[in-house]
Amino acid sequence: MRALRIGTAALLSALALGMALPSFAQDGGISTSEPLSANMTVSDEGLITYAAESCDYGGQFLSITALDANTVQFQLCFPDPALPSKVAFSALGIYPLEHLVATGGGGEALYRNPVGTGPYMLGNWELGSEISMTANPNYWGEPAHEPNLIFRWNSEAAARLVELQAGTADGIDNPGPLDFDVIANDPNLALFERPGTNVFYVGMNNTVAPFDNVLVRQAVAHAIDRQRIVDNFYPPGSLAATQFMPPSIFGYTEEVTPFPYDPDRARELLAESGVTLPIETTLSYRDVVRGYLPQPGVVAVDIQTQLAEVGINVTIDMQESGTFLDNADEGNLSLHMLGWGADYPDATNFLDYHFGAGSSNQFGDHFPELTSILQEAAALADPDARYPLYVEANTLIRDLAPVVPIAHGGSGTAFAARIEGAHSSPLGNEAFSVMSDPDDDNLVWMQNGEPAGIYCADETDGEALRVCEQINEALLAYEVGGTEVIPALAESFEASDDLLTWTFNLRDGVTFHDGSGLDANDVVMSYGVQWDAANPLHVGRDGSFTYFQAFFTNFLNVPAE
């Protein structure tokens, strides 16, 4: 059995930060408990447990325990059939406990300096230019095929294609709608299409007038011609959205039909609402291409034009990507354009993340009638029992109108034809370690934008997540180019019959990029610093930890408002 450990350098760094920490024996093992949090204990054997006093705090976890150096056990407050898909996600990557402590759980030392177990290690991040990675020589699995991986970015699809055609990039994300045929007809290039497992939407904040009036929100839904937007601005394979759920994901309910495009009905609803016309508002967005939104600027202008026809005058507000996402999460936007791509193929990833009890404030106050239905559906293992609840949920989302779903965008990747192992993923998490370039030792990828940070426990941007997925690993993973959950840092797991106890068995011989060995305490603390708002390491880049709360409903020790 591996010995549990924590480095003295991390201890000294933490003491300089004034943190209360476990005390250390001469050999570096934890010997007595002086924990970081009232919810954390350390056994005489040095095993860490994180536990809530009860389930009354409203979250999903009751406890997370290192049973031994190789074994981690999660006790849940309510069943979750989707737990394996969640713990495979990149926001739940595992970090060395020492690195979390040494960085104080945040700051540039953490979010620009990830330490993981993945096939690539961070080499250098040249801000504004590129992120370079090098192959991990001690990787536990199949080594990366290319010694060097370089991520660059450009917000313009045409510019990305020029780089690919010129040979200065080996692969690009999200070709423009008019570029699909160009790439498909070029023998030197290869196109890999993605299905539309995403949604683009216009969101409204119900705490900001006039969107605190449901009739106004419904009017917006009637005022936007979804099919016109898809026909004019989206690539082949795209669909006009009929509900927030894509048709390919469980939880889509075809019997729930959308509000039709009907400008006259929109005007009637605005008149019934009693608001003063014309409405003056702001439509915020970020100029970042996504599979769900291939042409942000022109779509914003088209929506502005359509809303003006019913008496809603829109000022367009383009924000820097990281600032925009932070503002959306915090509920600082009134009307905004955003979207979502599947992290795993289940309704909880779309509906619970956006409208559940643990979702962010981007649409304002939560709707209790909706959150209760979603929580009930998420705890059921039987799809036949879940489906009627999703009929109710999708009906409520339509009628309450926190969002107007616009499109499920087809998208893709493109590579030089010589790149072996090239692919696209329906989850947008392409695995570059399986790709190789027979011509040189560098693989150059060009995506849409630069990450704000790459401590992905505290990021939601796909540009950041894709970098993290090369460097950091979670307990489980998704198969290359697919959605099936497969072993990763945990070589196996088992669940109790009631789905309340989940036990993960860690893989032997895994080392972090800093040379330390993976053990169960790393897993407990990687989760614990996200879970516990009172932990002094619960810092991150901006402290939102949006995925954790959305996946698992609530943090521990959230101060009363």
> pLDDT digit string (tens) for 173-206?
999 988 999 999 999 999 999 888 999 999 999 9
**Same domain assignment for residues 378 and 256:** yes
**Same domain assignment for residues 249 and 358:** yes
Name the more confident of 431 and 35: 431
Residue 214, pLDDT > 90, answer yes
**Does residue 6 contact residue 22 with C-beta atoms inside 8 Å?**
yes
> For position 230, which CATH number holds?
3.10.105.10
Tell me whether residue 116 is in a domain. no
Q: How far apart are CA 532 and CA 536, in angstroms?
A: 9
In this predicted structure, what is the pLDDT of residue 18?
Answer: 40
Tell me whether residue 1 is in a domain. no
Residue 340, pLDDT > 50, answer yes
Tell me whether residue 536 is in a domain. yes
Mean pLDDT for 528-541 is 96
Closest CA to 545 of 228, 66, 89: 89
**Same domain assignment for residues 527 and 498:** yes
**Same domain assignment for residues 448 and 547:** no
pLDDT tens per residue across span 226-284: 999 999 999 988 999 999 999 989 999 999 999 999 999 999 999 999 999 999 999 99
**Same domain assignment for residues 427 and 542:** no
- Which range of residues forms the domain containing residue 326? 198-406
**Same domain assignment for residues 433 and 386:** no
Contacts of 554 (CB under 8 A, 6+ apart): 57, 58, 59, 60, 357, 358
Instruction: Tell me what percent of the residues of the chain surpass a pLDDT of 70.
Output: 94
Tell me whether residue 308 is in a domain. yes
Cα–Cα–Cα angle for 113, 114, 118, rounded to 5 degrees: 145
Q: How far is CA 419 from CA 122, 133, 471, 516, in A?
A: 22, 18, 21, 34
Tell me whether residue 275 is in a domain. yes
Tell me whether residue 118 is in a domain. no
In this predicted structure, what is the pLDDT of residue 295?
Answer: 92
Residue 159, pLDDT > 90, answer yes
Question: What DSSP string describes 341-383?
Answer: E-SSSSHIIIIIHHHSTT--STTSS--HHHHHHHHHHHT---H
Q: How far apart are CA 213 and CA 201, in angstroms?
A: 19
**Same domain assignment for residues 241 and 365:** yes
Tell me whether residue 2 is in a domain. no
**Same domain assignment for residues 283 and 370:** yes
Name the more confident of 337 and 237: 337
**Same domain assignment for residues 422 and 311:** no
Across the chain, mean pLDDT equals 92
Beta strands in 136-229 (DSSP E): 148-153, 171-173, 189-194, 198-204
Tell me whether residue 559 is in a domain. no
Residue 485, pLDDT > 90, answer yes
Q: How far is CA 335 from CA 204, 367, 462, 549, in A?
A: 5, 18, 22, 23
Q: How far apart are CA 460 and CA 547, in angstroms?
A: 7
Instruction: Tell me what percent of the residues of the chain surpass a pLDDT of 90.
Output: 86
Residue 10, pLDDT > 70, answer no
pLDDT tens per residue across span 13-27: 343 334 444 432 223
Residue 11, pLDDT > 90, answer no
Beta bridge partners of 540: 106
Structure tokens at 376: 């009930």
Beta bridge partners of 407: 200, 240
Mean pLDDT for 69-87 is 95
Residue 128, pLDDT > 60, answer yes
Q: How far apart are CA 360 and CA 542, in angstroms?
A: 14
In this predicted structure, what is the pLDDT of residue 196?
Answer: 85
**Does residue 52 contact residue 42 with C-beta atoms inside 8 Å?**
no
Name the more confident of 297 and 2: 297
In this predicted structure, what is the pLDDT of residue 19?
Answer: 41
Structure tokens at 70: 């190789």
**Same domain assignment for residues 203 and 328:** yes
> What domain count does the chain have?
3
Q: Given pLDDT bands bounded at 50, 70 and 90, which one contains residue 75?
A: very high
**Same domain assignment for residues 390 and 427:** no
